[in-house]
Amino acid sequence: MTALENREPAAGSAADTLLRVDDLHVSFKGRGRARKVRAVNGVSFELGRSETVGLVGESGSGKSTVGRAIMRLIPADSGRVQLDGRELLSLGRSELRAARKDVQMVFQDPYSSMNPAMVVADVIGEPLDVQAGMGRSERNTRVAELLEAVGLSQRHIERYPYEFSGGQRQRIAIARALANHPKVVILDEAVSALDVSTQNQIINLLEDLQAETGVSMLFIAHDLAVVRHIARRTVVIYLGQVMEVGPSERIFEHPAHPYAEALLSAVPVPNPEIQRRRERVVLRGEPPDPTNLPLGCPFVTRCRYAMDVCADTMPELTPVDGGGLVACHLQTAGPNLAGRSLDALGVEAEPIVPPTR
C-alpha cells in the first residue's frame, strides 16, 4: 500500500487531483567517497485543478529538489509523478518534450534562466516557437497578450532583461511560463528576492492569473506568511520527508507537528487569541546530515517533545482533526493526541540523540 492509499480519503488530498506525487525519492552522489545525499525521501502529495499548494521547509529540506524532479530536470531514484493520470517519470524523450509544455517552473532569479541577449519578445516567445510551432505574427500577438496579462505593456517588447526591475523580470518569467497554457506552474521561491510591496503585487497577479486561466500552482517558499496567503493547502517537509500536510488555515492556526509548530511560531496569526497563546518556539540546532539520516523520526534531534520511540521508529502519516495528515508519534504513542493539534499538549521534554543508519 502506498503512502497516499494508506489514509482516509480527502485527508491530505486535493478535491480534483491534477498532479499526484507519490513516494518520491531523489538522491545525489556524494563528493568523492562521501555517501549519497538523500535529498527527498518518500514525498507524497497532491495538487488539485486550479489549486495552489504551498511547499515549505528550511533551507536544504528538499523543496527545490521535489520541484526539479517533477519537471524531470533531475532524475528521481523512485516514486511516481502523475499529471492527469499520466506517469511523467517514465516518459521517453519525445513524450517528455510534449509533456513539459504542461508543467512550467519559475525560479527565484529568473535573470539567470533568461538569455540576456534576447529581447522580451523572444524570451517570452521562445517556448511558443519551440513547443507550439507558431508563426511570427501569431507569436507576437500571443506575446503582447501575455505582457498585458502580467501587467507590462507592448512598449516593453523590444527591451532586454537587464532593462527591467526584479519585479518586472519576475512578471516576464511568469508570462514565459504561461505562454503555452500549462496545467501546472511550479514557483520556486519566485517572490523571495523581492521587496514586500513587489511581492504583494506578484502574489495578486498570480491569483488573478489563476482565476483567469485555471492553472494550478505549487508554491515553494521560505516565507510562511506569503504561503498562508496564497496556498489553500500546505505541505511541510523536513529532510526530504513530509511532516505535515493539510489545509493552510488549519496548519497555520493549529499545527500538529512540532516542526511545523516551530517554523510557524514566528508567523503572526490574525486571530489574537491564538497569537497570545502561541509561544515563540525556538528551532534549536541544525538539521542532521542528509548523507546520514536518523533512524526514526528525522526531527528527533531538535524536537522538544521527543520520546524514546522517536529515535528508532519512523512515524506513519496519520489523519488530523480539521483536515490533513501528520507524521508524529505524539499522535499515536506517548500522549496519544489521536488527531488533535499540539494545542492539546502541555508536555515539554529534552531532545535525545538518535542512532544513525
Ligand X SMILES: Nc1ncnc2c1ncn2[C@@H]1O[C@H](COP(=O)(O)OP(=O)(O)OP(=O)(O)O)[C@@H](O)[C@H]1O
Residues 6+ apart with CB under 8 A from 320: 11, 244, 246, 250, 256, 326, 331, 339, 340, 341
Tell me: does residue 288 bind ligand X (CB under 6 A). no
Q: What SS3 class is residue 213?
A: helix
61 near Mg ion (CB under 5 A) = no
At 221 the three-state DSSP class reads: coil
Nearer to ligand X, 69 or 123 (CB): 69
Among 161, 315, 319, 323, indicate the residue that binds ligand SF4 (CB under 6 A). Answer: 315
Pairing of strands 325-327, 317-319: antiparallel
Neighbours of 74 (CB within 10 A): 15
List the one residue from 65, 234, 241, 331 that touches ligand X (CB under 6 A). Answer: 65
Pairing of strands 52-56, 233-238: parallel
Closest distance to ligand X from the beta carbon of 79 (Å)? 15
Binding of ligand X by 39 (CB under 6 A): yes
If we measure between CA atoms, which residue out of 49, 76, 307, 320 comes closest to residue 182? 49
Among 110, 258, 290, 298, binds ligand X (CB under 6 A): 290
Segment interacting with ligand SF4 (CB under 6 A) among 73-81, 216-224, 274-282, 325-333: 325-333
Q: Which run of H or E residues covers position 177?
A: helix 166-178
Interface region with ligand SF4, contact rule CB under 6 A, candidates 30-38, 65-73, 209-217, 306-314: 306-314
**Of the candidates 306, 351, 347, which has an alpha carbon nearest to the alpha carbon of residue 329?**
306
Q: Is 64 in the site for ligand X (CB under 6 A)?
A: yes
Q: Which stretch binds ligand X (CB under 6 A): 16-24, 56-64, 82-90, 195-203?
A: 56-64
Per-residue mark of binding to ligand X, 184-223 (x: CB under 6 A): --------------------------------------x-
Q: Could you tell me if 230 and 211 are in contact, meaning their C-beta atoms sit under 8 angstroms apart?
A: no
Supply the DSSP string of 289-357, one letter for each residue: PTTS-BSS-TTTTT-TT--HHHHH-PPPEEE-TTS-EEE-GGGTSTT--TT--GGG--------PPPB-
Element (H, E) at 39: strand 37-48
Tell me, by CB under 6 A, how many residues bind ligand SF4: 14
For ligand SF4, the closer of residues 186 and 300 by Cβ is 300
Q: Verify binding: residue 303, ligand SF4, rule CB under 6 A.
A: yes
Selected binder of ligand X within 5, 32, 33, 59 (CB under 6 A): 59
CB count in 10 Å sphere of residue 195: 11
Residues that bind ligand SF4 (CB under 6 A): 257-258, 297, 299-300, 303, 305-307, 310, 315, 328-330
Residues that bind Mg ion (CB under 5 A): 64
Residues that bind ligand X (CB under 6 A): 28, 37, 39, 57, 59-65, 222, 290
